[in-house]
Structures are given as C-alpha cells and as structure tokens.
Amino acid sequence: MAEKRKPRSDMKVGNFEKKNGLPPGTVRNKDGRDTRSDKLLGTIRKEAEGKR
C-alpha cells in the first residue's frame, strides 16, 4: 500500500482546509485559537518542532 505524502510546505492553511473538505477554523494554534488562513503549513511545522 502506498504511503500518503504530506502536503506541500508552501500551501496556505485556507487552501489546505478547502482542498481536504475541512470547515474553516479546523487548523488550530497551540493555544486553541484558529490559525490564520494565509499562514503557510511550513511555518506551522517549524513552530511544532520548536524552532521558532
């Protein structure tokens, strides 16, 4: 079975939610607020790793 690829890091949160059929506000920050729709997925990954 093929492994799923992770989304491109230059994709914006709003496009990711729309592409995957998710309602707006699904992607959240660590503090629980919804993430801005123009934030890049690569930035979110860096924050999760603790590089920022």
Q: What is the pTM of this model?
A: 0.81
- What's the confidence (pLDDT) of residue 52? 57
Q: How far apart are CA 52 and CA 13, in angstroms?
A: 18
Give the residue among 14, 20, 18 at the shortest CA–CA distance from 40: 14
DSSP helix/strand/coil, 25 = coil
Q: For the chain, give the mean pLDDT.
A: 91
Q: How far apart are CA 44 and CA 51, in angstroms?
A: 10
Confidence label for 36 from pLDDT (cuts 50, 70 and 90): very high
Write the single-letter amino acid at 35. T
